[in-house]
Amino acid sequence: MSVAIDRDLLAIQEMREAVRKAKAAQQRYLSYSQEQVDQIVKAVADAAYAMSRELAVMAVEETGMGVAEHKQIKNEVGSKAVYESIKDEKTVGIIREDKEKQVVEVAAPFGVVAAIIPTTNPTSTAFFKTLIALKTRNAIIVSPHPYAVKCTIEALKVCEQAAVGAGAPEGLIGWLSHASMEATQSLMTHPDVHLILATGGGGLVRAAYSSGKPAYGVGPGNVPVYLEKTANVAKAVSMIVDSKSFDYGTICATEQAIITDESIFEATLRELKANGAYLLNEEEKRRMEKVISPVPGKVNPKIVGRSPQYIAGLAGIEIDDSVRLFVAQETKVGKEVPFSLEKLSPIFALYTAKNKTEAKELCGRLLDLGGRGHSLSIHTEDDAVAREFAVDMPVSRILVNTLSSVGAVGGTTGLAPSMTLGCGSFGGNITSDNITARHLLNIKRMAYGIKEVDIPRKGASSPSPAAAKQTDEIVKSVIASMGKSGQVNVEEVAQLVNKVIEQYNK
């Protein structure tokens, strides 16, 4: 027990020292020009990109998850693609000016950013979060996942060495080397931490949101993919299998369940087999259900990011190396239905819908199970259908005729390259955006006066009760002397007199 306590104390002390250094470094970094910041960011991106392959191998070896070649692509997206998307943004000083409205916008950093990194994307997310923090003159302290400490820290060391070499103050990039939930929670509540970037499990994201600090967290995916009757089935299924196989399904935007129209069901089955899918029979499906979810409602962590061959061994199913993923036909949705959960592995549920209305209902139920606000994929040649789903479905990203996993993070689409995908209020998040550099800035606005306003003095808009009574009496007296009291509205005349008096007083 004393050893465990000592480790926690050591982790907390390390965290406090990292925050102290980061705060001091960020104060120095505040004085850097846009040119200096951009030189540092480019140096870090180049160094990270150069190490993409080596760090991908290290991540697979340490975590046992994914495919090195695919993690290399993730690292390249997290470094080079992210850099290309942010390199021209102004993040220092005056960044925009509306001359017509005479409003000037000035960029200000948050300060020290606490970043939580998942085990599924440990190096690419470290690259991504470091780049967007440095671009916006923030310091960053990273808490790696306990199962990916070595590869995450190695990625951060690459970034730190490049940043300092390009002129950044030491301490601007920090990390926790001791796996400790207590230290991570203390980091999120530390008074000198100003923003939290949380990518990880639901409990961790909730802790970030309840820390009392501004936080960007993400929700689960459980992404449905709908093959609408007009889809190019061969092309669509090829993309879906490639997407699901990518890094063995560890990206949260990866498709989790296929919904296909009845009219193209047989064609879909045929193409799935042709692309390396293994169709489970009823007995094999029952075995796989126990492997997916030994405890109802919870996914077995042993299958996350694992190969089909490894998972087959757990289920006692014999397959060869040509199998890329598993597919089981399903009709039900619920926590007690393992194939309907977000599996983060090369395992698919396959549903059939009579039409787009039933498909939409199925998609909604799957999202309600654990993916609201995240993403939905659709393959169709009818753009009106795609737009209908975009309007009606409670998601932040609708990926059309592309790989959902890679498309959602900006790899095959025009979306901002990002490893942190907001789910909006649908999923309990503050934003539905792909998080990027602009989310790490405070924008100050200087506004010049361009409109005139006349502020009336107190009581000037209406006569006092005494004055109003006196006016009424005078009006009555004048009208009576004229002998026309029965022909004139005294109240209207009094109001008219008061208005004349107001104009005279001005």
Q: What are the residue numbers of the active site?
A: 252
User: How far is residue 112 from each of residues 5, 139, 178, 190, 435, measured CA to CA in Å?
Assistant: 27, 5, 20, 10, 17
Contact present, 121 and 253 (Cβ < 8 Å): no
248: helix, strand or coil: helix
Closest CA to 407 of 369, 368, 434, 373: 434
Q: Whole-angstrom Cα distance, residue 308 to residue 327?
A: 11
Q: Rg for the chain (alpha carbons), in Å?
A: 31
Give bridge partners of residue 261 from the DSSP assignment. 353
Residue with the two structure tokens 């009094």: 494
| Residue 61 neighbours by CB distance under 10 Å | 11
Closest CA to 210 of 230, 225, 196, 229: 196
Beta-carbon contacts of residue 353 (< 8 Å; ≥ 6 apart): 226, 259, 260, 261, 262, 359, 362
Q: Whole-angstrom Cα distance, residue 148 to residue 154?
A: 10
Closest CA to 368 of 344, 327, 337: 337
157-160 CB contacts, 8 Å cutoff, 24+ apart: 158/47, 158/48, 158/51, 158/55, 159/44, 159/47, 159/48, 159/126, 159/127, 159/130, 159/131
